[in-house]
Amino acid sequence: MAEDSPKRRKANFNEAETEVLIEQVLKHEQLLFAAGPGRASPGQKRKAWELIRHKVNPLCRLSQGCGPPGPAAALGLLLAPEEMPPAAAPPA
């Protein structure tokens, strides 16, 4: 019966979002996860996570319609042109 099968929940991120998330976490790995005397302050880590969030969220808005973009969501403000998905790239 269906009652015995475990429920599967929707994935938090699609494939493109997961790739960006992994790429950005690896890029900032030393800052985010370093231990010892050279570690980053909580404020520095928070800024790094904010940067990562801004890189992943525009993909969510474009691919899944996760709600209206905020005032700063003109993707050019959040992503460099080479980082933008082809559909969101500004006209040349």
Question: Can you tell me the distance from the alpha carbon of 44 to that of 36, in angstroms, rounded to the nearest whole number?
Answer: 15
Decide: helix, strand or coil at residue 20: helix
Question: Can you tell me the distance from the alpha carbon of 56 to that of 15, in angstroms, rounded to the nearest whole number?
Answer: 11
Confidence band, pLDDT 50/70/90 cuts, at residue 74? very low
- Report whether pLDDT(43) > 60: yes
pTM of the predicted model as reported, rounded to 2 decimal places: 0.56
Question: Can you tell me the distance from the alpha carbon of 18 to that of 1, in angstroms, rounded to the nearest whole number?
Answer: 34
Confidence band, pLDDT 50/70/90 cuts, at residue 83? low
